[in-house]
Structure 1
Amino acid sequence: MNTGQQNIESSAIEILSDLGRFTATSFWEDGPADYLAERAESAGLEVTIDPWGNVLATKTGSDPDAPGIAFVAHMDHPGYEVVARTGENITLKTLGRMGIAAGRAGTTIKVITESGEQIPATVSGAEPAAGELPKFKAAAAAGWLGTDTVYAKIDREAALGELPRPAVPDLPDFVIEGGLIRMRAADDLAGCAAILAALEHVANEPTQGNVYGIFTRAEEAGLIGARLAAEHGLVPKNTVIVSVETSSVLPGAEIGNGIVIRTGDRSTTFDHEAEAYLVEAAQRIKAKTPDFKVQRQLMNAGSCEATAFKGFGYRVTGTAFPLGAWHNRGESGVEPEFISKDDFIGGAILLTETAKLSGTSPESVQAWLSESPDEESERLRSGRAKR
């Protein structure tokens, strides 16, 4: 690993460790948002906040007409919201899709007060699933909670402040062990950290097109921030969108085998013209670092923000860090999510190299198809003439 890559690693790990301290429950992303905005400004990037709280960091290119690149990640993670309290009993609504153990009696959580104090609470159960029983059985069989209402007990003397208040699983903020990063909310604070580390590295390097970091809100509640950013043109329509996700491990997208170039998600297949940037960047890295690992796969466990932007006419592609214990669904209950440290660092390096290509419009992997195969054409033609 060269000095530049070592600097990217140091920054990426520091940013992710810092982000892990914050509450990241959907609609409660102020902590990550403030941190990302302040650090981006310190790096010399232009920072704006849209009306919905999405954070946009911009590194300006030399050609205002060149197509820029926007790396997109969400700041939120599934969690709870306290909506009612009677003495020691609290009622919570889940925000985002959570595993079945999130509503299981005995699961421990932390309620975040207005002053920022973390108050321990213990889940006592969940509301029976609404709707059709087969649908609930299917969700349970897949390990998902089939309801959005959970009950818990808390110290009756604890002052929470005005409701609602966010709550999170009682899990480690950030730990590195055995080559794995384990944390409460890798999805998608890892994407945010990789993007900002890449932007910091290229902040003072010349690029033809603009390079953007878009950090969105409430993705787990239905791609809300991304849909609003795309609908209202937060970045120009000729911008290439790169979703930077942390997504469930799948065959062909394995932990430890490198960052995944994502060709699609559960809802959408992506654009090869946009993917060409990632492919070209990976080839450049491999030319200098032959053992650099990268995978390529359509990851259909969930939908990502590329789908939101594609719905509004943008060219999109994506990357993903293969993720274990997706949405804290562990083998033994609610557990920290985990990703490979090497995959994470490799992803930050890939984003950095991709950012340098902004405005260059590299040829797609299909460009060779436009070259007429004259010699082979003549052989086919002459062969038929002899019959």
Structure 2
Amino acid sequence: MKQLLKDILTIPAIALKEHAIHSALAQFAVQHNLKFQQDSAGNSYITYSGDESPSVGRRPLFITAHTDHPGFIVTEVNGNHAICEFRGGLSAEYGKSEYLCVYRIASQDASIAAIGKAQVQEIMTQGTSPRQRIQGATVLSEPGVQLEVGDLLLWDVTAFEISNDPDPKILARQCDDLIGVVSILQTLKKLSETSSPYSFTGLFTRAEEIGLMGASAATNSSILPTEAIVIAIETSSGAGGRAIQGDGPIIRVGDAGSIFTPKVTTWMEHTASNLAEKSDFKYQRLLMDAGSTEATAFFRLGLDTGALCVSLGAWHNAGPNQKIVPDDYPHFITRGWAKPYRARRIRQLLGETKLHSVDSFKTVQSDVTSVVAGDVLPLMLSLTEDRFAPGSDTYTVRGQLEEWDRQMSVDRAEPLLFAAWYRELTRLIYADELKDLFPDMWKMRPQFIHNVLSGTDGQSRWCDDQNSDPVESCADQSTAALDKALVELRTRYGADMNKWQWGQAHMAYSAHRPFGKHPWLSKLFDLAIPSPGGSYTVNAGVYRIRSQEPFHNTHSASMRAIYDLADPDKSLFIHSTGQSGNRLSPHYNNFVDPWRDGTYLSMTTDRQQILAHAMGTLILRPQRTELD
């Protein structure tokens, strides 16, 4: 099923521009010897006919999903700017400054190709606050990309990936509703392969996002009889406690517009209950009211209708990573949400222990596993296999990184080797395209680099150096990047590779204010220590690859605390410098080592304990004046 998910979820489609999806549906039907039909509205039907005995009163079953997803289409072009129409329903609080992937439909065969990216400059809205919706946008194409009228633009997020978690999740741009499409196709495939006696038709509708158009048209088609039972498979937001991801599919009682046919819902629940009794199958029965679904169209047009639902963590991709409020939250907090790498690792660590304690939370806060390295390094290693001469330094380093456990430990060389290799690779991948803009735009961009190295949507084209005649591959650039990285590391840290350590490069600086700005006083008042972690580890140690000291730790948790709510006096804390602001005090920097090493101090509120361990008492007494 993973291959089917990848094949379908990565096909770009917005309302009325769904040709590639329906072409794939036709090919699927031929491949599995299934009946394929289309109605006058362009909806597709795939039927599996079992050999069940005819039964009086047996009603045909249609399971439906729509094939479009919210997105933009270019309507007017002026140089490297374009005006786009938005097809879908999404709050206008989203979108500004976001990047979009650009796709072009070939006029000859309706195939779709990725041609580059564009950035939203301004969102055009409709409606009144707080219910404003995106109507369109002006966008700016990236250098070298010439937009054309009719181009499709979709959010620049993961096209398809299955997370590497104990509880894996599908990460995909077009889950709504291509997850429903895949669910139906997999069911048809399973029935066909097992020669099941049961029959049903998969109905794949167009243009749901702009008014349930395909579903409404299907009710006028002779292919869908009036006595049919229709079950719509959809996705919906689980935000606000509507549903729990991982607790099974949802029997959807209704949506924002309707309550569906009760007898169909009851039949579905009875079937699910029987499955749950015989296996570990889980399901939920809920009213998912985040929006309206095609089931409303079928139900209101006279068909007996039920609905199944898959809960999404980021409905319409509108819940940026680690967003903490539901989609309809009325107040602006921020447009910048953290990338998902630390959250993925935290979820994994939380899932490894059933009952957590203060000690287990120490482990979580101190974790320095690099999820980014786990995602990207295997691609870098694969691209450079057999590229280096045995016995060479590059061959040795590549071997070290193959064995590396992805821990950004202070006393290890591998984190530094990976960070330097990755840094040089980013330079080779997109410095030539950005030209003079590159110094200001140079960042790690791990999702982009992953897409380039994996060739997602043709993005491996970024590996070609625009300043040279030969066409460089990602393998070429990955090879060259490691050579350049070792040259850079020798210049910075000496020729003896055995002495290289991450902490040597990843110094955590606590700058004094204001003396940290003075070239002499800073040496006395600033504090520095070799530190573990990286930009996306749970124990964060952010470094800026475009800076003069590209691996220095410039941003970390200056304070960590663990609160024991069962016994508050067992709570712990640590911060990054010391208890005293007096540079001559031994307590000016006495927390630096414990902070780096992940150890803590008790946070008691018991006054007797505080007095028993006090080194003295500081009394602040205001000076009396003649007016007192």
- Give me the TM-score of the superposition, normalised by structure 1: 0.75
2:5 maps to 1:16: yes
Amino acid aligned to 2:123 = A
- Counterpart selection for 1:154 from 131, 141, 145: 141
Between the aligned partners of 2:140 and 2:160, the Cα distance in structure 1 is 26
Amino acid aligned to 2:256 = R
Amino acid aligned to 2:206 = R
Alignment of 1:24-43 (within 5 A): 24-43=13-32
Counterpart position of 1:118: 115
Alignment of 1:134-213 (within 5 A): 135=128, 137-139=129-131, 146-155=133-142, 158-161=145-148, 163-177=149-163, 178=165, 179-203=168-192, 204-207=195-198, 210-213=199-202
Judging changes above 3 Å, is the alpha-carbon distance between structure 1 residues 300 and 252 closer, same or farther for their aligned structure 2 residues?
closer
Between the aligned partners of 1:313 and 1:174, the Cα distance in structure 2 is 37
Which structure is richer in relative contact order (CA contacts within 8 A, separation 6 or more)?
A: 1
Counterpart position of 1:3: none
Cα distance, 1:156 vs. partner? 6.8
Judging changes above 3 Å, is the alpha-carbon distance between structure 1 residues 114 and 262 closer, same or farther for their aligned structure 2 residues?
closer
- Counterpart selection for 1:282 from 250, 264, 272: 272
Judging changes above 3 Å, is the alpha-carbon distance between structure 1 residues 147 and 279 closer, same or farther for their aligned structure 2 residues?
closer
Cα distance, 1:224 vs. partner? 0.7
Between the aligned partners of 2:314 and 2:61, the Cα distance in structure 1 is 31
Cα distance, 1:191 vs. partner? 0.6
CA contact (8 A) 2:90 2:134 kept: no
Cα distance, 1:23 vs. partner? 0.6
2:289 maps to 1:292: no
2:165 maps to 1:214: no
Secondary structure of the structure 2 residue equivalent to 1:15: helix
Secondary structure of the structure 2 residue equivalent to 1:23: coil
Cα distance, 1:331 vs. partner? 3.6
Cα distance, 1:36 vs. partner? 2.0
Judging changes above 3 Å, is the alpha-carbon distance between structure 1 residues 188 and 196 closer, same or farther for their aligned structure 2 residues?
same
Judging changes above 3 Å, is the alpha-carbon distance between structure 1 residues 264 and 104 closer, same or farther for their aligned structure 2 residues?
same
Counterpart position of 2:325: none
Secondary structure of the structure 1 residue equivalent to 2:230: strand
Secondary structure of the structure 2 residue equivalent to 1:22: coil
Counterpart position of 2:246: 256
Between the aligned partners of 1:284 and 1:315, the Cα distance in structure 2 is 22
Counterpart position of 2:491: none
Amino acid aligned to 1:20 = L
Between the aligned partners of 1:139 and 1:21, the Cα distance in structure 2 is 30
Bigger Cα displacement from structure 2, 196-205 vs 88-97: 196-205
Moved over 4 A (4+): 332-337
Counterpart position of 2:68: 76
Structure index of larger Rg: 2
Cα distance, 1:155 vs. partner? 4.4
More strand by percentage: 1
Cα distance, 1:114 vs. partner? 3.3
Judging changes above 3 Å, is the alpha-carbon distance between structure 1 residues 253 and 27 closer, same or farther for their aligned structure 2 residues?
same
Cα distance, 1:103 vs. partner? 3.3
Between the aligned partners of 1:130 and 1:301, the Cα distance in structure 2 is 19
2:308 maps to 1:316: no
Amino acid aligned to 1:98 = L
Between the aligned partners of 2:4 and 2:172, the Cα distance in structure 1 is 13
Between the aligned partners of 1:149 and 1:166, the Cα distance in structure 2 is 13
Secondary structure of the structure 2 residue equivalent to 1:231: coil
CA contact (8 A) 2:232 2:307 kept: yes
CA contact (8 A) 2:261 2:299 kept: no
- Counterpart selection for 1:97 from 72, 89, 104: 89
Cα distance, 1:148 vs. partner? 0.7
Measured against aligned partners, the alpha-carbon deviations of 1:81-124 in whole angstroms (never above 9, x if no partner) come to 1000000111111100124354302x110221234233211111
Cα distance, 1:40 vs. partner? 2.6
Between the aligned partners of 2:104 and 2:136, the Cα distance in structure 1 is 20
Secondary structure of the structure 1 residue equivalent to 2:105: coil
Cα distance, 1:19 vs. partner? 1.0
Between the aligned partners of 1:254 and 1:84, the Cα distance in structure 2 is 42
CA contact (8 A) 1:91 1:149 kept: yes
Amino acid aligned to 1:45 = L
Measured against aligned partners, the alpha-carbon deviations of 1:249-278 in whole angstroms (never above 9, x if no partner) come to 153521111100011111111112212442
Structure 2 segments unaligned to the other structure (5+ residues): 107-112, 322-334, 341-628
Bigger Cα displacement from structure 2, 173-182 vs 151-160: 151-160
Secondary structure of the structure 1 residue equivalent to 2:12: coil
Amino acid aligned to 1:56 = Y
Secondary structure of the structure 2 residue equivalent to 1:27: coil
Counterpart position of 1:6: none
Counterpart position of 2:59: 67
Backbone CA RMSD of aligned residues: 2.3
CA contact (8 A) 2:89 2:134 kept: no
Between the aligned partners of 1:160 and 1:268, the Cα distance in structure 2 is 41
Calculate percent identity across the aligned residue pairs.
29
Secondary structure of the structure 1 residue equivalent to 2:301: coil
- Counterpart selection for 1:58 from 47, 63, 73: 47
Counterpart position of 1:269: 259
Amino acid aligned to 2:175 = A
CA contact (8 A) 1:58 1:211 kept: yes
Structure 1 segments unaligned to the other structure (5+ residues): 1-10, 141-145, 338-387
Counterpart position of 2:575: none
Between the aligned partners of 2:35 and 2:254, the Cα distance in structure 1 is 30
Measured against aligned partners, the alpha-carbon deviations of 1:200-234 in whole angstroms (never above 9, x if no partner) come to 11132112xx4010111110111110110013343
Between the aligned partners of 1:98 and 1:111, the Cα distance in structure 2 is 19
Cα distance, 1:284 vs. partner? 3.2
CA contact (8 A) 2:249 2:284 kept: yes
2:303 maps to 1:328: no
Between the aligned partners of 1:150 and 1:38, the Cα distance in structure 2 is 35
Judging changes above 3 Å, is the alpha-carbon distance between structure 1 residues 99 and 183 closer, same or farther for their aligned structure 2 residues?
farther
2:238 maps to 1:241: no
Cα distance, 1:199 vs. partner? 1.4
